[in-house]
Structure 1
Amino acid sequence: MGLITAAVSSISGSLADSWKEVIEPEDMTDSTLLVKGVPIKKGSNKRGTENIVSNGSIIHVFPNTLMLLIDGGKIVDYSAQEGYYEVNNSSSPSLFNGELSETLKDTWERFKFGGAPSQRQYVYYINTAEIKGIKFGTRQPVNYFDNFYNAELFLRAHGSYSIKITDPIKFFTEFAPKGTDRIEIKDLSEQLFNEFMDALQSAINQMSVDGVRISAITSKSRELSKYMSKTLDEDWTELRGIEVCSVGIASISYDDESKALINMRNKGAMMSDPTIREGFVQSSVAQGLQSAGSNTSGAGNAFMAMNMGMGGAGGFMNAASQANAAQMQMQAQQAAAQQQAQQAAANTWKCSCGAENTGNFCNNCGSKKPAPAGEWTCSCGTKNTGKFCGNCGAKNPNEEWTCSCGAVNKGNFCNNCGAKRS
């Protein structure tokens, strides 16, 4: 038993009279994974004989589907090419791959059926389009070690992903529940969800190893899809013929303990800056003065209480401000020293005798520091490196120019005809 191509144009022609029935998928939606073919009798919408695909019947294959011709529970032929096919008991399997990978034929070799036609034939259609909008969400927080915070954090992730059946024969024989005429994505959602979440944990852990900051995960959907595809490759692609197409992270939230750690780390990073600490001290004093001035019990009493409080805390705030000032001064000194070191490095030059120097003369042989390449001194005394003097605007006399007579010169007059440089 096998398939032969039927001309599409003959659907309304004379050959239609010889067709016993046309088989089509029944109510296939975007979330349908597998559905049984329905025999439709010529001239009516009534179904034909159950479990028998008559010789000469026509099977209609729609876009983004793979049709399986089943005999006695085994696959005898398939087609992933859109069109009409005639069932011919005397023909060999034709194996119309369509746009699916050639590896599909390798899977066929594992599951093909070579026996004689039986009395129980079926037609199944498998959806090969991308199945989108499959929701996921972590039931428990997922651990994530963030190298930036140097802490084990916990997050919750919600979003959706999409899958595609890339090896329909493997999916049908290895994963699809047997004895069912219809499979929707919801029928497998619990099993897929559990396996997906295990893979998500592994993918997130790998992103942690690769140094991705926890706050950047939402912008790494494409990378996460690659991690997921790699993690699920053996279980889904190799064993079930399914692959993950995309993963979209809609939201990421942290548990309360992780939030506290992140906030503490961020606050600590801010308060390590002495200018921010000093601003905090001064704003606290200003806020105290403002509160005292608006006290309903009387500003005088409030200021008196504030002065008493300041007397006790003044020493601490004074010490804090002095520490802040000292650290700011130290930072300024370090910045100045770094700038001086950079300038010294930029001014260092090597003499022809091999000695390195920073002044205008070599400290070994006394040779004068050579002028930088391209440097020239204008008649006004300014040193320049460009084409014009930065002080008076005069042209560089050492720059070559071509006279109207054709001579190439340096200086302000042509050495051939004496014409002045324009």
Structure 2
Amino acid sequence: MGLGNFFRKQLSQVIEWNNQNAALLVYKFPSANDEIKNSSKLIVAPGQGVILVYEGKIADHITENGIYDIESDNHPFITTLLKLRTNFESEHKLKIYFYRTSENVNLGWGTSQAIKYMDPVYKIPVELGANGSFSFKAGNPLFLFENIIGSRDSYTVEEAKQLLQSRFPQAISSILAKSLISYQEIDSQLPNLAVNIKESLNTEAENLGLVLTDFKVNGTIFDEGTKARIEKIADITTDTFAAKEGGLTYVELEKLKALRDAARNEGGLAGAGLQLGVGMELGKTFNDAKEEQLNSTDTDVVTKLKQLKLLLTEGIITQEEFDSKKKEWLDKF
């Protein structure tokens, strides 16, 4: 060490987090051997707070902006010149940590794993991904410093973001289960869900010394298995409505479809090891069921025509059968 540098080291200094890096949540002021000299000036700018660790213990926590005088046992010249046996290093260590008090805003998030819950209406398992944005800040800086950051010289916004985001899937899954919202209503309920999820997440965030100031869910996407289940429900719903319009129940319509397919699938019946007579019996059963529907007398003509159209659409009767019965019923009408 040159003589000039040696003497400069003994002088009081101005301590500040100049040109604050927006990517950092916590920043330790760099000082040789952590020897902050007595009468140094500490500047705390807007959007900043300061934690002072003196001789291994938190000595002060400054949250108000302004200029502060630093008083320590590190007096210029005396503490260093008398420390020949410790290589001119003082044991009176003062570490100064700046932290960001302003919000970290509009950070994107997305779930890295599927969120799972049981649909309360259709009783099917649902798996989905979600994405959105959130904002946060240091809620309890001392707790964050002591329990999360420790003795590190810096802690980034990205690290805090990842720590918070790891809590998102469980909170979202829990809120979806408690809210009893069907998959059909999720998109329309996103604002309300976001409010409840934020409240739940802040319980977790407080345990980290952080606080969410904003949370939004922008969209969701179902996994392929859930999409298949939803499509099946949609098909059943459509068929149920169509059957009702045609004067049939869903069960009656499905029974006719099953008999139709079985009667047509002679190869399938043979492949299954069934006797030909069984296939013929199924065909007879299908024809009997079809005739029962066509010749039913307990419904009016309009309803019977709707039913006739449904049977044609589903391939249960042929176009010729449709035209014949239609003419027969219209003649009676």
Tell me if the contact between 1:35 and 1:124 (Cα under 8 Å) persists in the aligned partners: yes
1:220 aligns with 2:190: yes
Pairing 1:2-401 to 2, within 5 Å after superposition: 20-38=12-30, 49-89=32-72, 119-178=92-151, 180-188=152-160, 190-194=162-166, 196-197=167-168, 200-218=169-187, 219-221=189-191, 223-231=193-201, 233=203, 235-237=204-206, 239-274=207-242, 319=293
Deviations 1:347-401 (A, max 9, x none): xxxxxxxxxxxxxxxxxxxxxxxxxxxxxxxxxxxxxxxxxxxxxxxxxxxxxxx
> Are residues 327 and 247 of structure 1, via their aligned partners in 2, closer, same or farther at CA, if it must alter by over 3 Å?
farther
**Shift of residue 216, structure 1, vs aligned partner:** 3.6
Tell me if the contact between 1:26 and 1:36 (Cα under 8 Å) persists in the aligned partners: no
Partner of 2:319: none
Tell me if the contact between 1:51 and 1:121 (Cα under 8 Å) persists in the aligned partners: yes
**Shift of residue 189, structure 1, vs aligned partner:** 5.0
Identity of matched residues, %? 18
> Are residues 328 and 144 of structure 1, via their aligned partners in 2, closer, same or farther at CA, if it must alter by over 3 Å?
farther
Separation in 2, partners of 1:177, 1:321: 84
Segment of structure 1 superposing worse, 241-250 or 62-71: 241-250
**Shift of residue 317, structure 1, vs aligned partner:** 11
SS of 2:225's equivalent in the other structure is helix
SS of 2:38's equivalent in the other structure is coil
One-letter code aligned to 1:236: A
**Shift of residue 35, structure 1, vs aligned partner:** 0.5
- Structure number with the bigger relative contact order (C-alpha 8 A, sep ≥ 6) is 2
SS of 1:240's equivalent in the other structure is coil
Tell me if the contact between 2:164 and 2:205 (Cα under 8 Å) persists in the aligned partners: no
> Are residues 226 and 206 of structure 1, via their aligned partners in 2, closer, same or farther at CA, if it must alter by over 3 Å?
closer
Partner of 2:277: none
**Shift of residue 160, structure 1, vs aligned partner:** 3.1
Separation in 2, partners of 1:225, 1:328: 51
**Shift of residue 29, structure 1, vs aligned partner:** 2.9
Separation in 1, partners of 2:100, 2:32: 25
> Are residues 28 and 320 of structure 1, via their aligned partners in 2, closer, same or farther at CA, if it must alter by over 3 Å?
farther
Separation in 2, partners of 1:327, 1:257: 43
What are the ranges of 5 or more consecutive residues in structure 1 without an aligned counterpart? 1-18, 39-47, 91-116, 279-311, 331-422
Which structure has the larger Rg? 1
TM, length-normalised to structure 2: 0.60
> Are residues 211 and 187 of structure 1, via their aligned partners in 2, closer, same or farther at CA, if it must alter by over 3 Å?
closer
**Shift of residue 34, structure 1, vs aligned partner:** 0.1
Separation in 2, partners of 1:30, 1:317: 78
Separation in 2, partners of 1:240, 1:150: 36
Q: Which one has the bigger helix percentage? A: 2
Tell me if the contact between 1:146 and 1:213 (Cα under 8 Å) persists in the aligned partners: yes
**Shift of residue 270, structure 1, vs aligned partner:** 2.9
One-letter code aligned to 2:140: D
Aligned-residue RMSD, C-alpha = 3.8
> Are residues 252 and 317 of structure 1, via their aligned partners in 2, closer, same or farther at CA, if it must alter by over 3 Å?
farther
TM, length-normalised to structure 1: 0.48
One-letter code aligned to 1:205: S
> Are residues 322 and 190 of structure 1, via their aligned partners in 2, closer, same or farther at CA, if it must alter by over 3 Å?
farther
One-letter code aligned to 1:65: Q
Separation in 1, partners of 2:55, 2:213: 34
SS of 1:251's equivalent in the other structure is strand
**Shift of residue 155, structure 1, vs aligned partner:** 0.9
One-letter code aligned to 1:25: W
Deviations 1:76-115 (A, max 9, x none): 112111211112349xxxxxxxxxxxxxxxxxxxxxxxxx
What are the ranges of 5 or more consecutive residues in structure 2 without an aligned counterpart? 1-10, 74-89, 247-285, 305-333
SS of 1:271's equivalent in the other structure is helix
One-letter code aligned to 1:223: L
One-letter code aligned to 1:268: I
